[in-house]
Amino acid sequence: MKKLLKYLRDYKKETVLGPLFKLLEASFELFIPLVVASIIDNGIPAGDKAHVLKMCAVLAALALIGLASSLTAQYFAAKASVGFSCKIRHALFAHIQSLSHTELDEIGTSTLITRMTGDINQVQTGVNLTLRLLLRSPFVVFGAMIMAFTVDFQSALIFAAAIPLLAAVVFFIMLVCIPLYKRVQNHLDKVLGITRENLAGSRVIRAFCKEIEETEKFNEENNVLCETQKFVGRISALMNPLTFAIINFAIIALIFTGAVRVNAGNLTQGSVVALYNYMSQILVELIKLANLIINITKSIACGNRIQAVLEIAPSVNDGKGEAPLTRDIAVEFRGVSLKYKNSAENSLTDISFTAKHGETIGVIGGTGSGKTSLISLIPRFYDASCGEVLVDGVNVKNYSQDVLRKKIAVVPQKAVLFKGTIRDNMRWGNENASDDRITEAITLAQGSDIIAKKEAGLDSQIEQGGKNLSGGQRQRLTIARALVKKAEILILDDSSSALDFATDAALRRSIKNLNPPPCVFIVSQRASSIMHADKIIVLDDGIVCGIGTHDSLLKDCEIYREIYSSQFKSEVE
């Protein structure tokens, strides 16, 4: 949490002025009991209306000045806390973007969403309350005690006895609650993870009649969260009754002592009222302080969780940015193996091949054979555990990620579109792309009918995730977005699974006729999608079991022959 405070550097003025104006407000508040005592001791017994009115005017002036100071303090505290949380949110989002797929897989999407939203909002609240109350409440507590000593030394000893007891209660509860609030946030992550899975996979859950099981699973985890919150809530709830009990016993002792001393003529009635008011101020401020401590403990737990993400070092780091050594071979794998973090076995083992510029490389294999893992190594979504992946003769680890990925356009398995216009989505590949270039790319991706059917054309709105488009439309627009980029290397990761055979074939012909022709990687489970490729890589359990053309693999590769025959039985027979 301490490391996050560097984001307050630009708000030094606000972090100083906010508490100072709160202290100014508190200072005026401490004079109020003395003014009331003066009215009781000097104005009322003597029937001096002028004195009473004068003191009432003083009270009104103190209230107005205090209100102005409070509003000013609120403004500075809000400005600092909102700016602080804004900077943290920017830093966290930028850091998440720098993480490789390895770290993102390990942390989990639901956890990152929680820390970007709920945790940062809690930290913002904690900073706001800290700037407003952390100095004010102790100042009023100890200021009231000091003012009590100026009124009557003997009665003020009660304050000196009560305040250490109150401090002990507050700090004990704070120390107990900090780790418990961290546990609450961890359980909240799990609940959000289950919720996200159920919302995203609601159709699958209903298709398999798993509603009851998923509901029970959610209820079980939600009950754990609830019980943990109740437990920490019970401990936090002790704060108010304990502080109230101590303060009320102190008030009883104060009134008893004051009554005895007033009866003996050693203390005035106004002084007793002033002492009571000071004790009441202490009570109010301790309630505020108790709530502040609870909020601070939550904020510290949330801040530590945010800091934990910021401290994760990305496993993929930028290289020195070496210049390409060759323009002939676009991609080369040299004895490449890949082992995912926390995995017992390699996902890829000893992969070696070359792909020239203009060539089309087909990648085929059964489910889980490592097809996506293989092509993910080219743009460095993951780093090879062993061996080298080269682009234009340079190890991808020696490129800066920005330079490397400008050479590559990737169409992922799951078509992802963002809320906005079709034009906005197409310009992800090239922010300066003209409408003609976008229209050409959409036509090449066999998506011209999508634009033709929409009245607004390229200005047509796409809902979040492309929900207002069919699966095939999303895939074609995702492919068009990659084509707008006109990258040297084009990776199609099973990106035509929702397309019919005719559209798929027309798409491949269009890509083949691109000028200049890119090096194309087509990952597919359809033999028809890759059978015309210049080179086909056949994977089985992360191992290359065949590289060659369609005809040569039919003769020499049993696995490819099995895949092909399962899809073209009549032709094989």
Task: Judge if 371 and 424 occupy the same domain.
Answer: no
User: From CA 358, how far away is CA 520, in angstroms rounded?
Assistant: 7
Give me the pLDDT at residue 322, please: 63
> Which token pair is 559?
């696995």
For 452-465, write each residue's pLDDT tens digit. Answer: 888 888 888 888 88
Task: Judge if 390 and 524 occupy the same domain.
Answer: yes
Task: Judge if 270 and 144 occupy the same domain.
Answer: yes
User: From CA 89, how far away is CA 309, in angstroms rounded?
Assistant: 12
> Which token pair is 76?
């500075």
pLDDT at residue 1 greater than cutoff 70: no
* pLDDT bracket for residue 326 (50, 70, 90): low
Q: Which of 18-22, 121-125, 178-182, 274-278 is least confident? A: 178-182
Whether 185 maps to a domain, the answer reads: yes
User: From CA 148, how far away is CA 155, in angstroms rounded?
Assistant: 8
From residue 458, give the alpha-carbon distance in Å to each of 62, 171, 417, 418, 435.
63, 61, 14, 14, 8
Residue 433 domain boundaries: 415-486
Give me the pLDDT at residue 323, please: 61
∠ CA 409-415-416, nearest 5°, is: 85
pLDDT at residue 572 greater than cutoff 70: no
Give me the pLDDT at residue 315, please: 78
Give me the pLDDT at residue 101, please: 82
How many domains, in total, are found in the chain? 3
For tokens 């000013």, the residue is 72
Give me the pLDDT at residue 111, please: 80
Whether 9 maps to a domain, the answer reads: no
Give me the pLDDT at residue 325, please: 63
- Give the domain-ending residue among 310, 344, 379: 310
Task: Judge if 298 and 386 occupy the same domain.
Answer: no
- Mean pLDDT (whole number) for 358-370: 89
Count of alpha carbons within 13 angstroms of residue 319, beta-carbon side:
17
Beta strands in 468-558 (DSSP E): 489-493, 519-523, 535-540, 543-548
Whether 152 maps to a domain, the answer reads: yes
Give me the pLDDT at residue 324, please: 64
Task: Judge if 231 and 356 occupy the same domain.
Answer: no
pLDDT at residue 569 greater than cutoff 70: no
Whether 149 maps to a domain, the answer reads: yes
Whether 355 maps to a domain, the answer reads: yes
- pTM for the model: 0.71
For 414-445, write each residue's pLDDT tens digit. Answer: 888 888 998 998 998 788 889 899 999 999 88
Task: Judge if 383 and 496 occupy the same domain.
Answer: yes
Give me the DSSP letters along 401-421.
Answer: HHHHHHSEEEE-SS----SEE
Give me the pLDDT at residue 367, please: 82
For 44-103, write each residue's pLDDT tens digit. Answer: 877 778 888 888 898 899 889 989 998 999 999 999 999 999 999 999 999 988 888 888
Task: Judge if 429 and 465 occupy the same domain.
Answer: yes
Task: Judge if 384 and 532 occupy the same domain.
Answer: yes
* pLDDT bracket for residue 570 (50, 70, 90): very low
Whether 335 maps to a domain, the answer reads: yes
Domain with residue 372: its CATH number is 3.40.50.300
User: From CA 121, how far away is CA 417, in angstroms rounded?
Assistant: 28
Amino acid at the residue 344: A
Task: Judge if 552 and 566 occupy the same domain.
Answer: yes
- Give the domain-ending residue among 486, 514, 531: 486
Q: What's the mean pLDDT when you consider all of the chain? A: 85
Whether 476 maps to a domain, the answer reads: yes
Task: Judge if 285 and 357 occupy the same domain.
Answer: no
- Mean pLDDT (whole number) for 231-251: 83
Task: Judge if 131 and 238 occupy the same domain.
Answer: yes
Domain with residue 148: its CATH number is 1.20.1560.10
- Give the domain-ending residue among 486, 508, 535: 486
Give me the pLDDT at residue 571, please: 46
Whether 58 maps to a domain, the answer reads: no
Task: Judge if 369 and 444 occupy the same domain.
Answer: no
Torsion of CA 75, 81, 86, 92, to 10 degrees: 180
Strand order in the sheet with 386-391: 348-356, 329-338, 386-391, 394-395
For 506-544, write each residue's pLDDT tens digit. Answer: 888 888 888 888 999 999 888 888 888 999 999 998 899
Q: Bridge-partner residues for 355, per DSSP? A: 331
